[in-house]
Amino acid sequence: MKFLKKYPLIPSALFAFGLYLAILPFGTTKASLLDFFKPEPAPKEEVIDLEAFSRIPVLRGGRVKPLDSVARNTLLVLRNKRSALDQNGTMIPAISWLAHVLLNPEEADKLKTFVIDHDQVLGLLNRKLAKDGKYYSYNELKPFLKEIDESARESGKLEREKQDSFDQNIIDLYRSVLLYRKLKHTLSPPAPPPETKMIEDLDLNTFFFDSDKDKDRTDEYSRFRSITKAISQDPSTIRIGSDEFGRVVFLLDHYSRSNLWSEFFPVPPETGDQKKRWRKVGESLVGEEPLDSDQKRNLDPAQFASLLQDLIRTDRVPLQEKVNFILTKEKLNPTALFAAQYAEAIKLRTEVDPILPLYEKLRKAYVRNDPSGFNDAVSSIRRLCEQRAPDQVTKLGFEKTFNAYEPFYRCSVAYIIIFLSACLSWLCLAINTAKFNANHSKSFKNVAYHLTLIILIAHTFGLLGRMYIEGRPPVTNLYSSALFIGWGAVLLCWFTEKYLRLGIASSMGAMVGFGSLVIAHNLSLDSSLNPTGDTMEMMRAVLDSNFWLATHVVTVTIGYSTTFLAGFLGLAYIFYYFIHQVLVSDTSDNKLSSLLSSSRKQLEKTLGSMIFGITCFSLFFSLVGTVLGGIWADQSWGRFWGWDAKENGALLIVIWNAIILHARWAGIAKIRGIACLAIFGNVVTAWSWFGTNMLGVGLHSYGFMDKAFNPLMSFIVSQMVFIGVAYLVTPLRSLFRKKQPAAK
């Protein structure tokens, strides 16, 4: 009882709920914070162990990641969610969707994989949003593939600025279908259409995989190997017009082409490969194409045949040298380059990579629903990958748990609770009865404050997790800048709240935190920014400097975040000011208005100094960050300042913060003025953060986007409305009040 007295029920419940959100699994987020410290769950034996399957390493988007990440990221692109639906629309885990797609495509085609929520696009498919919903399976799209393809092509011809929402949606759908088909064929190269004349001519009818006759696709691969073996033993058959040669050329071409139908690299680096290249199934059979396939048109067939014959006559060791020589010295000669690839495929790649039979075994076991076969294959594949790429698979387990923990989703929900607690605390003050009074208010504030700390830890853990997986400083792209801006603002709010327990800093911090996480989520959905669905993409060469990323980018982003925070505190003040001006008059005497007018002086002083202090921080960080950026630019481009759009954006923030501070120091702006200036700081920062990217000019245009235009404009307009309210509310009120007595 005493405990409850000290900690009233509602605040305690809120606190407990927040704590639960931060740590334990809920809804779709299946992992808890504790899972990070547990070892991998023991392999299951009786059922198909998708948990282990989800940890198989593959290379996609330049980075080795678990299949789990591939599943979630591709679903983010296809369905704008990190989970999947089965054919009835029931939610299933991402990994079981991927298992279907990779191993049992016929079944996968029935799953509702694609999101289509644009009326016109649905119209193209003869569907209605209200009746048919927005999720569709590949089978449902299949009859319309031609229409989708044609419309997307038409839309693609338009310049970006001229595309409307239909154009963008149909292009997105086209890309989604393509991505899905590539994913389906990643482990099973599609056979050429059987009616192809060449197959008949070259007597390859029985070559390709036939589920009736063959054990699995490895039979096809071994047939290919025996064909190449035959020709390498009898190089004289390599001449134009010979059937043997024709077959090899046709098949090599076929497998090279199949690489285009592959979304990720499942084959780990071959032993002895200096560059540690992962390979696609086709590449594992025939090597990498030295040039774009189109270039084959430019090769000289006679020269090609004679050179290839020459190469095949060479022994393996000198052949490897010759191939390397050609690849480095004959870069402008497509004939030689392709001859080198063909020679490699025929003579140097004599075995079928052992991982291919394992994947085949996996597929068969999955289709037959044979748990022990499946689990065996999974563990063999994982063992093989660990052997062949031991240093690339160490972070996979962490990434898998991190995916399931979904730290930023948790935090965004928890920030709402913090905001709620802060609001409740003011409500208690306002009501001020026996049941809800200043004491309750205080405990709500304390809940908000303590929850902020706990959620901040989860948020920080999310950032640290990303840093660990990427091996990079926290801010690497627009998405992570949003995460970081939220984090910075919340951290600063927590400190402020620590000294000034008013609930204002907590609530505004929660607002900035929530807002930035929502922005981050929308950024991750933007197909132009994030085409692979992976928010941990690789850095382009010029940004590839951890030192400058850690100093310049982080400081500038803190500058953004503090400027936003100052702006939101400004908003809080204007909100208060508005209520005060509307409710409080000389005649009114209710509790709320007396509370408002009695607290006014104190609140103005506190809020004023908070805005001022945070603006000082903003100026400091944005100035230091901008100057560091100048030094980086001087180091890498040879000019300290180049008037690049993004640089100018940062400079605007610096100048604006300087204006706020000087206006206050000189006494030109009082609290209301400062608050409005700080709100306009939001506009300046939003412009610098997103607006400059929309211009599409300059060296920093690594995050071009145009979908954000309307949200940005509405944000700017809303801020201007607040500023307008601040200055208009008093004259309007007096106008209003003057009229009223007259009416009486």
Partner 1 sequence: MSNQSKKKQNAYSVGARKKAFPWIVPFASVRLTLTLLSFSMILIFVATLEQVRIGIRGAQAEYFESFYGIWYYPEQFWGGSFLSMVPLPIPGGYLLGGLLIINLIAAFITRFQWSGKKMGIQIIHLGIILLLIGQMTTQAIQVESRMQINKGESSDYIERFHGVELAITDVTDANRSKVVSIPEQLLTPGNTLRVPGFPFKVRVQSFGPNCNFDFKESADQRSEITRGVNQGIGASANLSLTPMDEDFSNDAANFGYLVFQLINGSEEMGTWLAVAHPAGNDRWKFIHAKLEGMSFQPLRHQGKLWGMELRSIREYLPYSIELVKIENEFYQGTDIPHNFESHVNLNLESGQKRKALVYMNTPLRHRGKTFYQYQMNKAADYTVFQVIRNPSWLVPYIACILLSVGLLWQFSFHLIYFLRKQSKVSG
Partner 2 sequence: MPFHIPKIYITGTVKLLLFPLFCFVSCTEEAEIQTYYIAPEYTGPVVAWKLPPTWGENPELSGPMAGSFHVKTNSGPQGRIGVMPFREAVSTLAITNMFGMELGYEKFTEDTLPHVLTTKTVGQKKFEWIHLTEKNNPNDPKMALLAVFRQQDETWLFPFVANAALINQEMDSFISFLDSTTVRAGEKIIRAPRPISAAPTSKPSGSPTWDAPDHWVVGQASSVRIASYSVSDENGNELDFSITSFPGDVGGLQSNVNRWLTQIELPKAESLESSPYLSPYKIDEKDAYLLLAENTEKTIYGALLFGKSRSWFFKIMGDTTLAKVEKENFLNLLSSVCFHDH
Determine, following the binding rule CB under 8 A, whether residue 544 of this chain makes contact with partner 1. yes
- d(C-alpha 67, C-alpha 206), whole Å: 33
Determine, following the binding rule CB under 8 A, whether residue 473 of this chain makes contact with partner 1. no
Structure tokens at 332: 């402008």
Determine, following the binding rule CB under 8 A, whether residue 500 of this chain makes contact with partner 1. no
Which residues ranging from 299 to 328 are in contact with partner 2 (CB under 8 A)? 300-303, 306
Mark the segment that binds partner 2 (CB under 8 A) among 93-101, 208-216, 237-245, 313-321: 237-245
Residue whose CB is less far from partner 2, 5 or 297: 297
Cβ–Cβ contacts within 10 Å for residue 525, how many?
Answer: 15
Mark the segment that binds partner 1 (CB under 8 A) among 86-94, 114-122, 467-475, 644-652: 644-652
Determine, following the binding rule CB under 8 A, whether residue 30 of this chain makes contact with partner 2. no
**Binding partner of residue 236 among partner 2, partner 1, none, CB under 5 to 8 Å per kind?**
partner 2
Among 187, 189, 345, which Cα is nearest to 266's? Answer: 187
- d(C-alpha 413, C-alpha 427), whole Å: 21
Determine, following the binding rule CB under 8 A, whether residue 541 of this chain makes contact with partner 2. no
Judge whether 93 and 72 are in contact, CB under 8 Å: no
Exposed/middle/buried for residue 88 (C-beta within 10 Å: 0-12, 13-18, 19+): exposed
> Taking the complex as a whole, how short is the minimal distance between the CB of residue 721 and partner 1, in angstroms?
17
> Taking the complex as a whole, how short is the minimal distance between the CB of residue 534 and partner 1, in angstroms?
10
Residue whose CB is less far from partner 1, 579 or 627: 627
Residue 464, CB half-sphere, CA atoms under 13 Å: how many? Answer: 7
> Taking the complex as a whole, how short is the minimal distance between the CB of residue 405 and partner 1, in angstroms?
26
Indicate the DSSP class of residue 26. B
> Taking the complex as a whole, how short is the minimal distance between the CB of residue 145 and partner 2, in angstroms?
33
Judge whether 238 and 312 are in contact, CB under 8 Å: yes
Judge whether 38 and 404 are in contact, CB under 8 Å: no
Determine, following the binding rule CB under 8 A, whether residue 295 of this chain makes contact with partner 2. no
> Taking the complex as a whole, how short is the minimal distance between the CB of residue 15 and partner 1, in angstroms?
25
Which residues ranging from 374 to 393 are in contact with partner 1 (CB under 8 A)? none
Among 536, 537, 494, which Cα is nearest to 512's? Answer: 494
> Taking the complex as a whole, how short is the minimal distance between the CB of residue 685 and partner 1, in angstroms?
13
Judge whether 618 and 566 are in contact, CB under 8 Å: yes
Determine, following the binding rule CB under 8 A, whether residue 60 of this chain makes contact with partner 1. yes
Of the candidate residues 132, 314, 636, 729, the single one contacting partner 1 (CB under 8 A): 636
> Taking the complex as a whole, how short is the minimal distance between the CB of residue 641 and partner 2, in angstroms?
15
**Binding partner of residue 241 among partner 2, partner 1, none, CB under 5 to 8 Å per kind?**
partner 2
**Binding partner of residue 87 among partner 2, partner 1, none, CB under 5 to 8 Å per kind?**
none
Mark the segment that binds partner 1 (CB under 8 A) among 185-193, 352-360, 512-520, 684-692: 684-692
Three-state secondary structure along 463-517? HHHHHHHHCCCCCCCHHHHHHHHHHHHHHHHHHHHHHCCCCHHHHHHHHHHHHHH
Judge whether 726 and 671 are in contact, CB under 8 Å: no
Determine, following the binding rule CB under 8 A, whether residue 659 of this chain makes contact with partner 1. yes
Element (H or E) spanning 683, and its range? helix 671-686
Structure tokens at 224: 């290919």
Residue whose CB is less far from partner 2, 239 or 364: 239
Residue whose CB is less far from partner 1, 63 or 450: 63
x/- letters, 395..414, toward partner 1 (CB under 8 A):
--------------------
Determine, following the binding rule CB under 8 A, whether residue 238 of this chain makes contact with partner 1. no
Of the candidate residues 333, 622, 626, 657, the single one contacting partner 2 (CB under 8 A): 333
Residue whose CB is less far from partner 1, 540 or 601: 540
Determine, following the binding rule CB under 8 A, whether residue 239 of this chain makes contact with partner 2. yes
Question: In terms of residues, how long is the chain?
Answer: 744
Per the DSSP assignment, residues forming a β-bridge with 265 are 59
Determine, following the binding rule CB under 8 A, whether residue 110 of this chain makes contact with partner 2. no
Judge whether 281 and 266 are in contact, CB under 8 Å: yes
Structure tokens at 578: 């508005």
Residue whose CB is less far from partner 1, 578 or 640: 640
Element (H or E) spanning 22, and its range? helix 9-23
Residue whose CB is less far from partner 2, 233 or 236: 236
- d(C-alpha 397, C-alpha 51), whole Å: 11
Judge whether 96 and 84 are in contact, CB under 8 Å: yes
Determine, following the binding rule CB under 8 A, whether residue 639 of this chain makes contact with partner 1. yes
- d(C-alpha 512, C-alpha 488), whole Å: 10
Exposed/middle/buried for residue 26 (C-beta within 10 Å: 0-12, 13-18, 19+): middle
Per-residue CA distances from 152 to 77, 175, 178, 536, 569 (Å):
17, 9, 12, 28, 46
Of the candidate residues 11, 61, 357, 513, the single one contacting partner 1 (CB under 8 A): 61
Judge whether 115 and 80 are in contact, CB under 8 Å: yes
Element (H or E) spanning 686, and its range? helix 671-686
Centroid of chain to Cα 331: 36
Residue whose CB is less far from partner 1, 190 or 696: 696
Centroid of chain to Cα 555: 22
Contacts of 601 by beta carbon, 8 Å cutoff, 6+ apart: none
> Taking the complex as a whole, how short is the minimal distance between the CB of residue 246 and partner 2, in angstroms?
12
Per the DSSP assignment, residues forming a β-bridge with 440 are none
Determine, following the binding rule CB under 8 A, whether residue 442 of this chain makes contact with partner 2. no
Give the Cα-Cα-Cα angle 681, 530, 391 (nearest 5 degrees).
115
Of the candidate residues 91, 348, 464, 668, the single one contacting partner 1 (CB under 8 A): 668
> Taking the complex as a whole, how short is the minimal distance between the CB of residue 54 and partner 1, in angstroms?
20
> Taking the complex as a whole, how short is the minimal distance between the CB of residue 325 and partner 2, in angstroms?
18
Q: Please state whether beta strands 91-92 and 84-85 pair in parallel, antiparallel, or not at all (unpaired).
A: antiparallel
- d(C-alpha 131, C-alpha 114), whole Å: 16
**Binding partner of residue 368 among partner 2, partner 1, none, CB under 5 to 8 Å per kind?**
none
x/- letters, 591..630, toward partner 1 (CB under 8 A):
-------------------------x---x--xx--x--x
Determine, following the binding rule CB under 8 A, whether residue 329 of this chain makes contact with partner 2. no
**Binding partner of residue 239 among partner 1, partner 2, none, CB under 5 to 8 Å per kind?**
partner 2
Residues that bind partner 2 (CB under 8 A): 236, 239-241, 298, 300-303, 306, 332-333
Residues that bind partner 1 (CB under 8 A): 59-63, 264-265, 277-278, 331-332, 499, 537-542, 544-545, 548, 616, 620, 623-624, 627, 630-632, 634-645, 648-649, 651-652, 655-656, 658-659, 662-663, 665-666, 668, 684, 687, 692, 695-698
